[in-house]
Amino acid sequence: MASRITFFLGIFGALASIANGHMILNTPHPYGPETLNNSPLASFAEFPCKQRQGVYAASKGENKFSVGDSQSLTFTGSAVHGGGSCQVSISMDKEPTASSTFKVIHSIVGGCPGVGSSPSDFKFSVPKGFPNGEFALAWTWFNHIGAREFYMNCAPITVTGGADGEEGKKFFNSLPDMYVTNLPGQSGTRDTACDSPEGKDLTFPNPGDSVETVGSGPFATLAPSCGQVAGSSNAGTANSNDEPAAPQASSAVTSQAAASPAPTPAAGPAQGNTQSFSTVYVTATVTTPKTSQSTAGSVGGSFAESGSSGSTGSGSSGSTEGGSSDSTCGSDGTLVCNGEDKFGICDHGKIVWKPVASGTKCNNGKIMKRGLRFYY
């Protein structure tokens, strides 16, 4: 009898562990807590915010954020999948659609949502200058081990103490776009060349000014053509601050990198609330900034690997191995070669030299495979 009781207790414990597997956003209080489960997004149909019935139902608590104040990022669950990399982003649409734009306010490289048997607690803040209003915050996660997955939970927030009107809009547009990969595109197909590699912590090509490195690596950066999701069959208009990113081979995370290339104008406005400044982004196959035609869907590419240790970068004054931010250059977004083995992206008259990925070279302002043209 005792052994039978032990057997059933073991089963119940296993079931409880399964039910509590993966992770769910705890704070900020998420939308639709009654219907939110802990699984990753199964397809593009669940993008953004894990679409489901009751997805934008009221949260169990208020999320009132004053710009510059420290906020808690906590989780419920136990399966941290060895950690991974996360981002905190905000959409101006209170109830985002696939056409909404999310801008990054904080990036966590490795160790998120935790390492070991339980999640960790993190801190972030809404940057000063961010618009005032009611918006949607998103937590996204790329797991370190296990199947290649993309997790996304959203929460309603109210921002105060920030900027109003055009000043706030300009600040919002200056932030980097949320990184999206490991997710089938709108057509239902998935470009596995853009999957984050298992067993490595994903570094973001444009993580923003607020970055913390928690994991010990190894690290990997995907090709610049990865990281976007086709939110609409029509291309959208990117803001004038967006520039194409370039592949990085360093283990350091540099928070001032260039953003994605500008797509072509959309046929109609994005849906959302009346405060929305949304634009639609699609992955592009361009090499020059702002001026090339984009294509819906994601584009494949290789990733650059790095060693097992990393450092945290923050601000445009950060540097990576083999480079210095003291170098000067011309127009923003211009890719510049320093011999065949180093490259940099012009950013407000400054440039940080970085080593090219293994098997590639820098030539005439383009990253190319040795012996043939690079993919993008």
Domains in the chain, CATH or no CATH each: 23-221 (2.70.50.70), 334-369 (no CATH)
The C-alpha atoms of residue 143 and residue 200 are separated, in whole angstroms, by 9
The better pLDDT of the pair 347, 271 is held by: 347
Q: How high is the pLDDT of residue 277? A: 38
Mean pLDDT computed over 7-20: 38
Q: Is 54 left (phi over 0), alpha (psi -120 to 50) or beta?
A: left
Proportion of the chain above pLDDT 90, given as a percent: 43
Rounded Cα gap, residues 315 and 318, in angstroms: 6
Q: Which residues contact 23 (CB under 8 A, 6 or more apart)?
A: 38, 75, 76, 77, 79, 80, 113, 119, 141, 151
pLDDT band for 348, please (50, 70, 90 cuts).
Answer: low
| Residue, of 197 and 321, whose pLDDT is higher | 197
Q: Does residue 33 register a pLDDT over 70?
A: yes
Q: Which of 147-161, 193-207, 356-370 has the lowest mean pLDDT?
A: 356-370
Phi and psi torsions of 75, nearest 5° = -135, 160
Higher per-residue confidence, 106 vs 287: 106
Residue listed under structure tokens 């994991």: 215
Cβ atoms of 186 and 138 within 8 Å: the answer is no
Tokens of 352: 């940080």
Q: What is the pLDDT of residue 229?
A: 58
Give exposure, 246-282, as e/b (b: 16+ Cβ within 10 Å).
Answer: bbbbbbbbbbbbbbbbbbeebeeebebbebbbbbbbb
Q: What is the pLDDT at residue 350?
A: 75
The answer to whether the CB of 247 falls within 8 A of the CB of 227 is: no
Tokens, residue 224:
């610049």
What is residue 187's predicted lDDT score, i.e. its pLDDT?
Answer: 64
Backbone angles phi, psi at 157, to 5 degrees: -135, 155
Cβ atoms 47, 152 nearer than 8 A: yes
Task: Say whether pLDDT at 295 is over 50.
Answer: no
pTM over 0.95, yes/no: no
Residue carrying the six token digits 């980097």: 176
Give the pLDDT mean for 270-292. 36
Contact 331, 240 (CB under 8 A): no
Kindly give, in sequence order, each residue whose CB lies less than 8 Å from that of residue 73, ignoring residues fewer than 6 positions away. Answer: 27, 28, 88, 121, 122, 123, 124, 139
Beta carbons within 8 Å of 285's beta carbon, 6+ residues apart: 225, 292, 294, 295, 299, 376
Strands (E) across the chain are located at: 23-27, 64-66, 71-77, 84-91, 102-109, 122-124, 133-143, 151-160, 201-202, 211-213, 219-221, 304-305, 327-328, 335-337, 342-345, 350-351, 354-355, 360-363, 366-369
What CA–CA distance (Å, rounded) separates 118 from 74? 11
* Contact status, residue 350 vs residue 327, Cβ threshold 8 Å: yes
pLDDT higher for 8 or 127? 127
Say if residue 113 is preceded by a cis peptide, omega within 30 of 0: yes
What is the arithmetic mean of pLDDT over 49-60? 96
CA dist 324 and 352 (Å) reads 5
What are the residues facing 362 on neighbouring strands?
367
Question: pLDDT tens across 120-176, in order?
Answer: 899 999 999 999 999 999 999 999 998 999 999 999 999 999 999 999 999 999 999
Give the whole-angstrom CA distance, residue 22 versus residue 281: 29
Determine the pLDDT at residue 72. Answer: 98
Strand, coil or helix: what is 45? helix
CA angle 44/47/48 to nearest 5° reads: 165
Q: How confident is the prediction for the chain on average, in pLDDT?
A: 72
Distances from the Cα of 50 to the Cα of 34, 38, 40, 238, 299, angstroms = 13, 10, 8, 24, 23
The answer to whether residue 240 scores a pLDDT higher than 50 is: no
For residue 302, pLDDT beyond 50? no
